[in-house]
Amino acid sequence: MPQPRHATLATIALIMGGVAIGTTEFVTMGLLPEIAEGVSASIPEAGHTISAYAAGVVIGAPLLAVVGATWPRRALLVGLMVAFTVGNVLSALAPSYETLVAARFLAGMPHGAFFGVAALVAVDLAQQGQAGRAVGRVMLGIPIANVLGVPGATWLGQNLGWRSAYWLVAVIGVVTVGLVAYAVPHLARDRSKTVRSELTALTSLQVWLTLGVGAIGFGGMFAMYSYIAPTVTDVTGLPSSAVPLFLLVFGASGLVGNLVAGRMGDWSVIRSTVIGMAGLGVSLAMFAVVARWVVPALVVLALTSVLASVLVINLQLRLMQVAGSAQTLAAASNHAALNLANALGAWLGGVVIAAGWGYTAPSWVGVALAVLGLVVLGLSVLVHRRSHPNRATWRPVGPVGPGAGAGAEAGARAGQAAGDDAEAVRAG
C-alpha cells in the first residue's frame, strides 16, 4: 500500500487525465465554426471530427484494454496518456480536414482504456469498503472539464485560434504523464493475464447485459442533452447567451453527483444502479414538462446530471464485479458503451425533432430509453438470482492473491460494495 501522500497525488494525477480527456472530447463542439474555417470544410463536415473521436473511443477501449492487460498498471496508464497527448498534438498540427479526422480518431482511442484502468487503480489505492468513493473521485475529471476545461479551452480557441485548444489539452496530458509516472505505485506484471484471459469477459452474459444498460439506458441523457441549446432558446425562450448557464449548472451538478455516486456505490452497487436508471427516466420526463420555465428547468437539469453520474459510476463498479478476472477489458468497455449511448441518444433525438415533434420530444425519447435500460438491468438481476438461488452474497469469481494481480483484487473489493440481498454484501 503506498504512502498517503502518494495515494493522494496519484488520485490527482488520474483526475487530471480525466480533465484532459473530458476537455478534448467536448471542446470541439464549441469550436466547430472555427475548425471548419481552419481546415476549409463545412460545419457539418467539421462535425464528423466529433464522430471520429467517438469512433476512436468505441474501438480503442476494448482493443487497448486487451492488448495492455498484461502490462503493469502504471506503465499502461503512462502509455495511454502519451498516445492521447500525441493524438492531440497531431490534431493541433493537422494541415487538412482529412488529417484532422484521423487525428481525432487516434486521440479518442486511449479514452476508455485510461478511465477503465484508472478505476481499477483507484480501487487498489482505496481503503477497505471505499471502492465506490475511490472510483467516484477519479471520475471527477469529466465534470471538472465541463465546468472549467471546456469553457477555458473554448475561450482560448476563439481568441488564439482553434489549434490552441488542442495544444492546451496536450500540455495537460504531458503533466499527467509526469504525475502518473511519479505517484502511481508500481505493481508487478501479472503473468497470468493474457489476451485470451481478458477476452473471457466477452463470454459473460452479465458483462453484455451491463454494457447494454449503459449503451441503451444512458442514451436517454444524451437524447435530451444533445439538444439543450435549442431547447433553451426555443422552449425556455431565453437568448443564446443563457445556454452557458445551463451547461455550467449541468457540469457543476455532475461534480456533486460523482461524490454522491461513490458513497452510494459503497452502500450498494446494484441498488444504486437501479436508482440512477429509474431516477434518470423520471427526471427526463420532468424536464420535458418544466422546460418552458427557467428555474424549474435548471433545478431538474441539475437533478438529471446528478442521477446520470450515479448511473455511470455504478455501472463502472458493476462491470468490475461481473467481469471476474477480465477486469481491464470490462472496466474500459464501459466507456465504449457510453459513447454508443451518445450516438444512439443524439440520433434518436434528431429523428423526433426532424419529424416536427419539437425540442421537448428528445426528453421523451430519453424516458423510453431509460425504461429499456431498466428492463435490461432487471434481466441482469434475474439472471444472477437464477444462477445463484441459494447464495445470499455475491463476490466476483477469479483468483485473488499475489498471483492474481490488482484486477482480481479490485473486483473482489468492488464486490463488497454491492448491497442487494441476492446480489451483494454490504461494504463495511
What is the per-residue pLDDT across 335-382, written as a single tens digit (0 to 9) for each?
889 888 888 888 888 888 888 899 999 999 999 999 999 999 999 989
State mean pLDDT over 266-276. Answer: 91
pLDDT band at 402 (very low <50, low <70, confident <90, very high): very low
Percent of the chain residues past pLDDT 70, beyond the cut: 85
What is the per-residue pLDDT across 312-328, written as a single tens digit (0 to 9) for each?
999 988 887 887 767 77
**Does residue 74 have a pLDDT over 70?**
yes
pLDDT band at 414 (very low <50, low <70, confident <90, very high): very low
pLDDT at 390: 53
Residues in CB range of 130: below 8 A, 6 or more apart: 266, 427
pLDDT at 126: 78
pLDDT at 354: 85
What's the chain's average pLDDT?
A: 82
**Does residue 417 have a pLDDT over 60?**
no
pLDDT at 24: 92
Other CB atoms within a 10 A radius of the CB of residue 386 amount to: 9
Contact 214, 385 (CB under 8 A): no
pLDDT at 344: 87
pLDDT at 142: 86
**Does residue 306 have a pLDDT over 50?**
yes
Other CB atoms within a 10 A radius of the CB of residue 61 amount to: 29
State mean pLDDT over 226-237. Answer: 87
Domains of the chain: 1-189 (1.20.1250.20), 194-428 (1.20.1250.20)
Higher pLDDT, 130 or 224: 224
pLDDT at 325: 66
**Does residue 409 have a pLDDT over 80?**
no
pLDDT at 166: 96
What is the per-residue pLDDT across 283-302, written as a single tens digit (0 to 9) for each?
999 999 999 999 999 999 99
pLDDT at 373: 95
pLDDT at 119: 85
Three cell numbers, residue 116: 477503465
State mean pLDDT over 52-75. Answer: 85
Question: d(Cα 210, Cα 231) in Å, to the nearest integer?
Answer: 31
Question: d(Cα 376, Cα 240) in Å, to the nearest integer?
Answer: 38
pLDDT at 28: 82
